[in-house]
Amino acid sequence: MTRLFEPPAYGPQGACFWADTVAPGDWPRLDGDVTTDVAIIGGGFTGLNAARTLARAGASVVVLEADHPGWGASGRNGGFCCLGGAKASDAMLERRFGAGAARAWAATEQAAVAHVSGLIDRHGWDVDRHSQGETLLAHTPRKFAALKASAPVLSSELGVTVELHTKDELPALGLGGPWHGAMTVPVGFALNPRKYHAGLARTAQTAGARLMAHSPVTALERLAAGWRLRTPGGTVTANRIVLATNGYSHEDLPPWMRARTLPAQSTVIVTRPLSQDEQRAAGWWSSQMAYDTRFLLHYFRLLPDGRFLFGMRGGLYATETAQARISRRIHANFNRLFPAWRDVEITHEWSGLVCLMRTLTPFVGAVPGHAGLFAALGYHGNGVAMGSYAGHLVAQRMLGRAPEGPAPEWLASEPPRFPLGRYRRLLLAPAYAVAEALDL
Protein backbone atom coordinates (compact mmCIF):
# COMPACT_ATOMS: atom_id res chain seq x y z
CA MET A 1 0.00 0.00 0.00
CA THR A 2 1.24 3.49 -0.86
CA ARG A 3 0.31 6.93 0.44
CA LEU A 4 1.50 10.32 -0.73
CA PHE A 5 2.66 11.90 2.54
CA GLU A 6 5.20 10.74 5.09
CA PRO A 7 3.88 8.30 7.75
CA PRO A 8 3.48 10.94 10.51
CA ALA A 9 0.73 12.62 8.47
CA TYR A 10 -1.34 9.46 8.97
CA GLY A 11 -0.24 8.82 12.53
CA PRO A 12 -1.80 9.73 15.89
CA GLN A 13 -3.87 12.89 16.07
CA GLY A 14 -1.58 14.46 18.63
CA ALA A 15 -2.99 17.17 20.88
CA CYS A 16 -6.41 17.34 19.22
CA PHE A 17 -8.88 19.26 21.38
CA TRP A 18 -11.91 17.32 20.18
CA ALA A 19 -10.48 14.06 21.52
CA ASP A 20 -10.71 15.50 25.04
CA THR A 21 -14.46 16.12 24.69
CA VAL A 22 -15.75 12.68 23.67
CA ALA A 23 -15.11 9.27 25.19
CA PRO A 24 -13.20 6.96 22.83
CA GLY A 25 -15.45 4.85 20.61
CA ASP A 26 -15.66 1.14 21.33
CA TRP A 27 -15.92 -0.29 17.84
CA PRO A 28 -14.53 -3.83 17.76
CA ARG A 29 -11.66 -4.99 15.56
CA LEU A 30 -12.59 -7.28 12.66
CA ASP A 31 -11.76 -10.80 13.75
CA GLY A 32 -12.45 -13.54 11.22
CA ASP A 33 -14.20 -13.66 7.87
CA VAL A 34 -17.57 -12.06 7.24
CA THR A 35 -19.91 -11.59 4.28
CA THR A 36 -22.02 -8.50 3.71
CA ASP A 37 -23.95 -6.62 1.03
CA VAL A 38 -21.79 -3.49 1.29
CA ALA A 39 -18.33 -2.86 2.73
CA ILE A 40 -17.39 0.74 3.41
CA ILE A 41 -13.72 1.68 3.66
CA GLY A 42 -13.46 4.64 6.00
CA GLY A 43 -15.49 5.36 9.13
CA GLY A 44 -15.69 9.15 8.95
CA PHE A 45 -18.59 11.44 8.06
CA THR A 46 -18.89 10.06 4.53
CA GLY A 47 -18.66 6.41 5.48
CA LEU A 48 -21.07 6.67 8.41
CA ASN A 49 -23.67 8.63 6.43
CA ALA A 50 -23.49 6.02 3.67
CA ALA A 51 -23.74 3.22 6.24
CA ARG A 52 -26.76 4.78 7.91
CA THR A 53 -28.66 5.28 4.66
CA LEU A 54 -27.86 1.80 3.33
CA ALA A 55 -28.63 0.01 6.59
CA ARG A 56 -31.93 1.84 7.01
CA ALA A 57 -32.86 0.55 3.54
CA GLY A 58 -32.25 -3.03 4.65
CA ALA A 59 -28.73 -3.65 3.32
CA SER A 60 -26.18 -5.43 5.48
CA VAL A 61 -23.22 -3.09 5.96
CA VAL A 62 -19.71 -3.40 7.41
CA VAL A 63 -17.63 -0.25 7.97
CA LEU A 64 -13.86 -0.69 8.19
CA GLU A 65 -11.93 2.08 9.95
CA ALA A 66 -8.14 1.89 9.81
CA ASP A 67 -7.60 3.22 13.33
CA HIS A 68 -9.80 4.42 16.19
CA PRO A 69 -13.21 6.04 15.54
CA GLY A 70 -12.76 9.67 14.49
CA TRP A 71 -9.09 9.13 13.66
CA GLY A 72 -9.01 10.84 10.26
CA ALA A 73 -10.25 14.20 9.02
CA SER A 74 -13.68 13.73 10.60
CA GLY A 75 -12.09 13.87 14.05
CA ARG A 76 -9.48 16.55 13.29
CA ASN A 77 -11.31 19.29 11.36
CA GLY A 78 -12.30 22.74 12.57
CA GLY A 79 -16.00 21.94 12.96
CA PHE A 80 -17.31 24.34 10.28
CA CYS A 81 -20.56 22.98 8.85
CA CYS A 82 -20.87 25.45 6.02
CA LEU A 83 -21.08 26.07 2.32
CA GLY A 84 -18.20 24.57 0.38
CA GLY A 85 -16.85 21.29 -0.91
CA ALA A 86 -15.48 22.64 -4.19
CA LYS A 87 -12.85 25.21 -5.13
CA ALA A 88 -14.10 25.72 -8.68
CA SER A 89 -15.44 29.21 -9.31
CA ASP A 90 -18.90 29.87 -10.72
CA ALA A 91 -17.32 30.71 -14.06
CA MET A 92 -15.41 27.43 -14.09
CA LEU A 93 -18.53 25.45 -13.28
CA GLU A 94 -20.55 27.15 -16.00
CA ARG A 95 -17.79 26.69 -18.56
CA ARG A 96 -17.28 23.02 -17.74
CA PHE A 97 -20.82 21.85 -17.05
CA GLY A 98 -23.05 24.36 -18.81
CA ALA A 99 -25.47 27.11 -17.94
CA GLY A 100 -27.05 26.75 -14.53
CA ALA A 101 -24.18 24.71 -13.06
CA ALA A 102 -23.25 27.37 -10.52
CA ARG A 103 -26.79 27.69 -9.22
CA ALA A 104 -27.14 23.89 -9.08
CA TRP A 105 -23.96 23.68 -7.03
CA ALA A 106 -25.16 26.42 -4.67
CA ALA A 107 -28.33 24.41 -4.07
CA THR A 108 -26.23 21.31 -3.39
CA GLU A 109 -24.10 23.18 -0.84
CA GLN A 110 -27.23 24.33 0.97
CA ALA A 111 -28.69 20.82 0.88
CA ALA A 112 -25.50 19.49 2.46
CA VAL A 113 -25.76 21.89 5.40
CA ALA A 114 -29.48 21.11 5.75
CA HIS A 115 -28.72 17.37 5.73
CA VAL A 116 -26.41 17.67 8.74
CA SER A 117 -28.73 20.09 10.51
CA GLY A 118 -31.65 17.71 9.99
CA LEU A 119 -29.74 14.76 11.46
CA ILE A 120 -28.75 16.76 14.53
CA ASP A 121 -32.27 18.06 15.11
CA ARG A 122 -33.97 14.75 14.40
CA HIS A 123 -31.82 12.81 16.84
CA GLY A 124 -31.35 15.54 19.41
CA TRP A 125 -27.56 15.30 19.43
CA ASP A 126 -25.68 17.72 21.67
CA VAL A 127 -22.87 18.85 19.35
CA ASP A 128 -22.15 22.30 20.87
CA ARG A 129 -23.88 23.95 17.95
CA HIS A 130 -23.43 27.70 17.56
CA SER A 131 -22.94 30.48 14.97
CA GLN A 132 -25.59 31.91 12.67
CA GLY A 133 -24.02 31.22 9.30
CA GLU A 134 -20.43 32.22 8.57
CA THR A 135 -18.66 35.56 8.31
CA LEU A 136 -16.01 36.30 5.69
CA LEU A 137 -13.56 39.01 6.79
CA ALA A 138 -11.82 41.21 4.20
CA HIS A 139 -8.09 41.47 4.83
CA THR A 140 -7.62 44.36 2.35
CA PRO A 141 -9.86 47.19 1.08
CA ARG A 142 -9.75 45.61 -2.37
CA LYS A 143 -11.15 42.37 -0.96
CA PHE A 144 -14.01 44.22 0.74
CA ALA A 145 -14.88 45.80 -2.59
CA ALA A 146 -14.98 42.30 -4.06
CA LEU A 147 -17.26 41.13 -1.25
CA LYS A 148 -19.65 44.00 -1.92
CA ALA A 149 -19.75 43.08 -5.60
CA SER A 150 -20.39 39.40 -4.86
CA ALA A 151 -23.09 39.88 -2.23
CA PRO A 152 -26.02 40.36 -4.68
CA VAL A 153 -24.94 37.33 -6.70
CA LEU A 154 -24.71 35.16 -3.58
CA SER A 155 -28.06 36.40 -2.32
CA SER A 156 -29.65 35.46 -5.63
CA GLU A 157 -27.99 32.05 -5.90
CA LEU A 158 -28.70 31.04 -2.32
CA GLY A 159 -32.06 32.71 -1.88
CA VAL A 160 -30.96 34.35 1.38
CA THR A 161 -30.07 37.84 2.52
CA VAL A 162 -26.32 38.24 2.59
CA GLU A 163 -25.32 40.98 5.02
CA LEU A 164 -22.38 43.36 4.58
CA HIS A 165 -20.55 44.98 7.50
CA THR A 166 -18.30 47.99 7.14
CA LYS A 167 -14.97 48.25 8.91
CA ASP A 168 -16.46 50.69 11.43
CA GLU A 169 -19.33 48.32 12.26
CA LEU A 170 -17.20 45.28 13.08
CA PRO A 171 -16.04 46.25 16.62
CA ALA A 172 -19.63 46.50 17.89
CA LEU A 173 -20.29 43.02 16.49
CA GLY A 174 -17.41 41.49 18.42
CA LEU A 175 -15.47 40.88 15.21
CA GLY A 176 -12.43 42.94 16.04
CA GLY A 177 -9.15 42.75 14.19
CA PRO A 178 -7.29 44.13 11.18
CA TRP A 179 -10.28 43.78 8.91
CA HIS A 180 -11.59 46.17 6.24
CA GLY A 181 -15.18 44.96 6.30
CA ALA A 182 -17.02 41.67 6.24
CA MET A 183 -19.86 39.67 4.74
CA THR A 184 -22.11 37.26 6.64
CA VAL A 185 -23.84 34.44 4.78
CA PRO A 186 -26.69 33.08 6.96
CA VAL A 187 -26.16 29.43 6.00
CA GLY A 188 -24.32 26.98 8.21
CA PHE A 189 -23.21 26.63 11.81
CA ALA A 190 -20.30 25.45 13.92
CA LEU A 191 -20.15 22.20 15.89
CA ASN A 192 -17.92 19.78 17.74
CA PRO A 193 -17.02 17.30 14.98
CA ARG A 194 -16.26 14.42 17.34
CA LYS A 195 -19.65 14.75 19.03
CA TYR A 196 -21.32 14.78 15.62
CA HIS A 197 -19.25 11.75 14.58
CA ALA A 198 -20.28 9.87 17.73
CA GLY A 199 -23.94 10.59 17.01
CA LEU A 200 -23.60 9.34 13.45
CA ALA A 201 -21.97 6.14 14.68
CA ARG A 202 -24.79 5.44 17.11
CA THR A 203 -27.48 5.87 14.47
CA ALA A 204 -25.60 3.73 11.95
CA GLN A 205 -25.24 0.97 14.53
CA THR A 206 -28.89 1.27 15.52
CA ALA A 207 -29.82 0.86 11.85
CA GLY A 208 -27.84 -2.38 11.77
CA ALA A 209 -24.43 -1.39 10.36
CA ARG A 210 -21.41 -3.15 11.83
CA LEU A 211 -18.62 -0.69 12.64
CA MET A 212 -15.07 -2.05 12.89
CA ALA A 213 -12.05 -0.10 14.17
CA HIS A 214 -8.32 -0.85 13.93
CA SER A 215 -9.14 -2.77 10.77
CA PRO A 216 -7.21 -1.21 7.89
CA VAL A 217 -7.93 -2.66 4.47
CA THR A 218 -4.64 -3.96 3.09
CA ALA A 219 -5.85 -5.46 -0.20
CA LEU A 220 -8.85 -5.59 -2.52
CA GLU A 221 -9.54 -8.66 -4.61
CA ARG A 222 -12.06 -8.75 -7.45
CA LEU A 223 -14.20 -11.89 -7.36
CA ALA A 224 -16.48 -13.39 -9.98
CA ALA A 225 -19.32 -11.67 -8.16
CA GLY A 226 -18.29 -9.04 -5.68
CA TRP A 227 -15.13 -8.19 -3.78
CA ARG A 228 -12.94 -9.49 -0.99
CA LEU A 229 -11.30 -7.02 1.37
CA ARG A 230 -8.36 -8.12 3.47
CA THR A 231 -7.48 -6.71 6.89
CA PRO A 232 -4.95 -7.85 9.51
CA GLY A 233 -7.76 -9.52 11.46
CA GLY A 234 -9.80 -11.14 8.72
CA THR A 235 -11.62 -10.65 5.44
CA VAL A 236 -14.88 -9.14 4.27
CA THR A 237 -16.63 -10.48 1.18
CA ALA A 238 -19.04 -7.89 -0.21
CA ASN A 239 -21.19 -7.38 -3.25
CA ARG A 240 -20.31 -3.69 -3.36
CA ILE A 241 -17.75 -1.33 -1.85
CA VAL A 242 -17.70 2.37 -0.96
CA LEU A 243 -14.36 4.19 -0.86
CA ALA A 244 -14.80 6.90 1.77
CA THR A 245 -11.19 7.70 2.68
CA ASN A 246 -10.80 11.21 1.19
CA GLY A 247 -7.35 12.65 1.98
CA TYR A 248 -6.33 9.46 3.78
CA SER A 249 -6.70 7.27 0.69
CA HIS A 250 -4.11 4.79 -0.54
CA GLU A 251 -2.68 5.24 -4.01
CA ASP A 252 -3.22 1.60 -4.98
CA LEU A 253 -6.36 0.62 -3.09
CA PRO A 254 -7.52 0.09 -5.79
CA PRO A 255 -4.95 1.12 -8.47
CA TRP A 256 -7.65 3.35 -10.00
CA MET A 257 -7.03 5.75 -7.08
CA ARG A 258 -3.48 6.50 -8.17
CA ALA A 259 -2.99 10.29 -8.54
CA ARG A 260 -6.75 10.97 -8.49
CA THR A 261 -6.47 13.02 -5.28
CA LEU A 262 -4.01 15.52 -3.87
CA PRO A 263 -3.95 15.52 -0.06
CA ALA A 264 -2.89 18.75 1.64
CA GLN A 265 -2.26 19.46 5.29
CA SER A 266 -4.22 21.84 7.50
CA THR A 267 -3.11 22.84 11.00
CA VAL A 268 -5.18 23.95 13.99
CA ILE A 269 -4.39 25.48 17.38
CA VAL A 270 -6.74 26.03 20.32
CA THR A 271 -6.18 28.37 23.28
CA ARG A 272 -7.10 27.95 26.91
CA PRO A 273 -10.52 29.43 27.81
CA LEU A 274 -10.46 33.21 27.47
CA SER A 275 -12.12 35.43 30.03
CA GLN A 276 -14.63 38.04 28.95
CA ASP A 277 -12.06 40.73 29.70
CA GLU A 278 -9.54 38.98 27.43
CA GLN A 279 -12.13 38.68 24.69
CA ARG A 280 -12.92 42.39 25.00
CA ALA A 281 -9.23 43.25 24.90
CA ALA A 282 -8.95 41.60 21.49
CA GLY A 283 -12.31 42.92 20.35
CA TRP A 284 -13.52 39.39 19.61
CA TRP A 285 -16.44 37.98 21.57
CA SER A 286 -18.67 36.89 18.70
CA SER A 287 -19.77 33.25 18.42
CA GLN A 288 -19.60 33.50 14.62
CA MET A 289 -17.41 31.07 12.72
CA ALA A 290 -15.24 33.15 10.45
CA TYR A 291 -12.49 33.06 7.87
CA ASP A 292 -10.56 35.70 5.97
CA THR A 293 -10.36 36.51 2.28
CA ARG A 294 -6.86 35.20 1.71
CA PHE A 295 -6.38 32.42 -0.83
CA LEU A 296 -4.38 30.69 1.91
CA LEU A 297 -7.08 31.55 4.37
CA HIS A 298 -7.20 31.51 8.15
CA TYR A 299 -10.33 30.08 9.77
CA PHE A 300 -11.27 30.70 13.38
CA ARG A 301 -14.02 30.87 15.96
CA LEU A 302 -14.70 31.24 19.65
CA LEU A 303 -15.77 27.91 21.14
CA PRO A 304 -18.68 27.70 23.61
CA ASP A 305 -16.30 27.26 26.58
CA GLY A 306 -14.37 30.43 25.69
CA ARG A 307 -11.44 28.79 23.92
CA PHE A 308 -10.39 30.19 20.56
CA LEU A 309 -9.77 27.89 17.58
CA PHE A 310 -7.47 29.11 14.81
CA GLY A 311 -6.54 27.16 11.69
CA MET A 312 -4.62 27.55 8.44
CA ARG A 313 -3.02 25.47 5.73
CA GLY A 314 -0.28 23.10 6.83
CA GLY A 315 3.14 22.25 5.47
CA LEU A 316 4.11 20.49 2.28
CA TYR A 317 5.75 17.68 4.22
CA ALA A 318 5.07 15.83 7.44
CA THR A 319 8.68 15.54 8.56
CA GLU A 320 9.64 16.72 12.03
CA THR A 321 11.43 19.76 10.59
CA ALA A 322 8.51 20.71 8.35
CA GLN A 323 6.00 20.33 11.17
CA ALA A 324 8.10 22.53 13.45
CA ARG A 325 8.24 25.16 10.70
CA ILE A 326 4.48 25.23 10.18
CA SER A 327 3.93 25.29 13.95
CA ARG A 328 6.04 28.43 14.20
CA ARG A 329 4.13 29.93 11.31
CA ILE A 330 0.64 29.34 12.67
CA HIS A 331 1.65 30.79 16.04
CA ALA A 332 3.12 33.85 14.31
CA ASN A 333 0.00 34.38 12.19
CA PHE A 334 -2.25 34.01 15.23
CA ASN A 335 -0.19 36.57 17.16
CA ARG A 336 -0.25 38.97 14.23
CA LEU A 337 -4.03 38.83 13.77
CA PHE A 338 -4.87 38.71 17.49
CA PRO A 339 -1.97 40.50 19.24
CA ALA A 340 -3.92 40.91 22.49
CA TRP A 341 -3.70 37.13 22.93
CA ARG A 342 0.00 36.85 22.16
CA ASP A 343 0.76 35.53 25.65
CA VAL A 344 -2.32 33.31 25.97
CA GLU A 345 -1.48 29.63 26.40
CA ILE A 346 -2.03 27.37 23.41
CA THR A 347 -3.26 24.10 24.89
CA HIS A 348 -3.83 22.05 21.73
CA GLU A 349 -2.23 21.81 18.30
CA TRP A 350 -2.70 19.24 15.55
CA SER A 351 -2.77 18.67 11.81
CA GLY A 352 -4.95 16.74 9.38
CA LEU A 353 -5.34 16.14 5.67
CA VAL A 354 -7.85 17.73 3.31
CA CYS A 355 -8.42 16.33 -0.17
CA LEU A 356 -8.10 18.24 -3.45
CA MET A 357 -9.22 17.04 -6.89
CA ARG A 358 -7.87 18.21 -10.21
CA THR A 359 -11.37 19.33 -11.24
CA LEU A 360 -11.70 21.27 -7.95
CA THR A 361 -15.03 19.49 -7.45
CA PRO A 362 -15.96 16.36 -5.44
CA PHE A 363 -16.44 12.92 -6.94
CA VAL A 364 -19.55 11.02 -5.87
CA GLY A 365 -20.53 7.95 -7.84
CA ALA A 366 -19.59 4.62 -9.40
CA VAL A 367 -15.93 4.03 -10.23
CA PRO A 368 -15.73 3.46 -14.00
CA GLY A 369 -14.61 0.01 -15.06
CA HIS A 370 -15.00 -1.46 -11.55
CA ALA A 371 -18.40 -3.10 -11.16
CA GLY A 372 -19.74 -2.70 -7.65
CA LEU A 373 -17.17 -0.10 -6.60
CA PHE A 374 -18.30 3.39 -5.56
CA ALA A 375 -16.46 6.39 -4.14
CA ALA A 376 -17.23 9.71 -2.46
CA LEU A 377 -14.30 12.06 -1.85
CA GLY A 378 -12.68 15.40 -2.61
CA TYR A 379 -14.26 18.06 -0.37
CA HIS A 380 -11.47 20.67 -0.55
CA GLY A 381 -11.37 21.39 3.16
CA ASN A 382 -15.14 21.61 3.71
CA GLY A 383 -16.10 18.04 4.49
CA VAL A 384 -18.40 18.38 7.50
CA ALA A 385 -21.42 19.23 5.38
CA MET A 386 -20.43 18.05 1.91
CA GLY A 387 -18.71 14.86 3.10
CA SER A 388 -21.82 13.92 5.05
CA TYR A 389 -24.14 14.68 2.15
CA ALA A 390 -21.89 12.85 -0.32
CA GLY A 391 -22.07 9.71 1.79
CA HIS A 392 -25.85 9.93 1.78
CA LEU A 393 -25.92 10.58 -1.98
CA VAL A 394 -23.63 7.69 -2.91
CA ALA A 395 -25.78 5.35 -0.81
CA GLN A 396 -28.90 6.49 -2.62
CA ARG A 397 -27.18 5.90 -5.94
CA MET A 398 -26.25 2.38 -4.85
CA LEU A 399 -29.85 1.73 -3.86
CA GLY A 400 -31.06 2.85 -7.29
CA ARG A 401 -32.98 5.74 -5.81
CA ALA A 402 -33.35 9.25 -7.13
CA PRO A 403 -31.52 11.73 -4.89
CA GLU A 404 -33.69 13.24 -2.18
CA GLY A 405 -32.04 16.61 -2.77
CA PRO A 406 -29.92 18.47 -5.32
CA ALA A 407 -27.20 16.29 -6.85
CA PRO A 408 -25.72 17.47 -10.16
CA GLU A 409 -24.96 14.59 -12.52
CA TRP A 410 -21.44 15.89 -13.04
CA LEU A 411 -20.55 14.89 -9.49
CA ALA A 412 -20.26 11.35 -10.90
CA SER A 413 -17.84 12.37 -13.68
CA GLU A 414 -14.58 10.44 -13.40
CA PRO A 415 -11.92 12.72 -11.90
CA PRO A 416 -8.76 13.03 -14.02
CA ARG A 417 -5.36 12.23 -12.56
CA PHE A 418 -2.96 14.92 -11.42
CA PRO A 419 0.27 15.27 -13.38
CA LEU A 420 3.60 14.18 -11.88
CA GLY A 421 2.17 11.03 -10.31
CA ARG A 422 3.71 10.31 -6.92
CA TYR A 423 5.62 13.60 -7.15
CA ARG A 424 2.47 15.68 -7.59
CA ARG A 425 2.84 17.19 -4.13
CA LEU A 426 5.43 19.42 -5.81
CA LEU A 427 2.48 21.19 -7.48
CA LEU A 428 1.53 22.69 -4.13
CA ALA A 429 4.72 24.69 -3.68
CA PRO A 430 4.26 27.05 -6.66
CA ALA A 431 0.51 27.21 -6.00
CA TYR A 432 1.15 28.32 -2.41
CA ALA A 433 3.78 30.84 -3.58
CA VAL A 434 1.38 32.42 -6.08
CA ALA A 435 -1.40 32.47 -3.49
CA GLU A 436 0.82 34.20 -0.94
CA ALA A 437 1.73 36.85 -3.53
CA LEU A 438 -1.93 37.42 -4.37
CA ASP A 439 -2.79 37.69 -0.66
CA LEU A 440 -0.62 40.78 -0.20
| 242 lies in the same domain as 380 | yes
Whether residue 51 lies inside any domain: the answer is yes
Task: Give the pLDDT band (50/70/90) at residue 50.
Answer: very high
| 317 lies in the same domain as 331 | yes
| 269 lies in the same domain as 180 | yes
Is the pLDDT at 1 greater than 70? The verdict is no
Q: What is the pLDDT of residue 300?
A: 98
| 389-416 tens-digit pLDDT | 999 999 999 999 999 999 999 999 999 9
Q: What percent of the chain has pLDDT over 90?
A: 96
Whether residue 115 lies inside any domain: the answer is no
Q: What is the pLDDT of residue 236?
A: 98
* Residue 403 CB contacts under 8 Å (≥ 6 apart), including other chains: 393, 396, 397
| 213 lies in the same domain as 247 | yes
Whether residue 92 lies inside any domain: the answer is no
Is the pLDDT at 184 greater than 80? The verdict is yes
| 39 lies in the same domain as 72 | yes
Contact call for residues 28 and 73 (beta carbons, < 8 A): no
| 204 lies in the same domain as 288 | no
The CATH code of the domain that includes 303 is 3.30.9.10
Q: What is the mean pLDDT of residues 316-320?
A: 91
Domain that holds residue 334: 129-189+263-355
Q: What is the pLDDT of residue 409?
A: 96
Whether residue 100 lies inside any domain: the answer is no
Pairing of β 363-366 and β 373-377: antiparallel
**Secondary structure letter of residue 348 according to DSSP:** E
| 90-100 tens-digit pLDDT | 999 999 999 99
Q: What percent of the chain has pLDDT over 70?
A: 100
Number of domains in the chain: 2
Q: What is the pLDDT of residue 13?
A: 87
Question: What does pTM read for this prediction?
Answer: 0.97
Q: What is the mean pLDDT of residues 81-107?
A: 96
Q: What is the pLDDT of residue 143?
A: 98
C-alpha neighbours within 13 Å on the C-beta side of residue 295: 13
Q: Using CA atoms, how far apart are residues 263 and 361, in angstroms rounded to an integer? A: 14
**How many CB atoms sit inside 10 A of residue 283's CB?**
18
Whether residue 12 lies inside any domain: the answer is yes
Give the chain's mean pLDDT.
96
Task: Give the pLDDT band (50/70/90) at residue 177.
Answer: very high
| 346 lies in the same domain as 271 | yes
Whether residue 48 lies inside any domain: the answer is yes
Q: What is the pLDDT of residue 315?
A: 85
Q: What is the mean pLDDT of residues 429-435?
A: 93
Domain C-terminal end among 327, 355, 383? 355
Domain C-terminal end among 311, 332, 355? 355
| 210 lies in the same domain as 318 | no
Q: What is the pLDDT of residue 24?
A: 83
Query: Which amino acid, one-letter code, is at 118?
Result: G
| 64 lies in the same domain as 198 | yes
Whether residue 44 lies inside any domain: the answer is yes
Q: What is the mean pLDDT of residues 350-364?
A: 97
| 271 lies in the same domain as 159 | yes
Domain C-terminal end among 331, 355, 379? 355
* Residue 115 CB contacts under 8 Å (≥ 6 apart), including other chains: 49, 385, 388, 389, 392, 405
| 342 lies in the same domain as 405 | no
| 206-238 tens-digit pLDDT | 999 999 999 999 999 999 999 999 999 999 999
The CATH code of the domain that includes 37 is 3.50.50.60
| 302 lies in the same domain as 173 | yes
Whether residue 145 lies inside any domain: the answer is yes
Q: Using CA atoms, how far apart are residues 345 and 306, in angstroms rounded to an integer? A: 13
Q: Beta-strand (E) ranges in 162-258?
A: 163-165, 182-185, 189-190, 210-212, 219-223, 226-231, 234-243
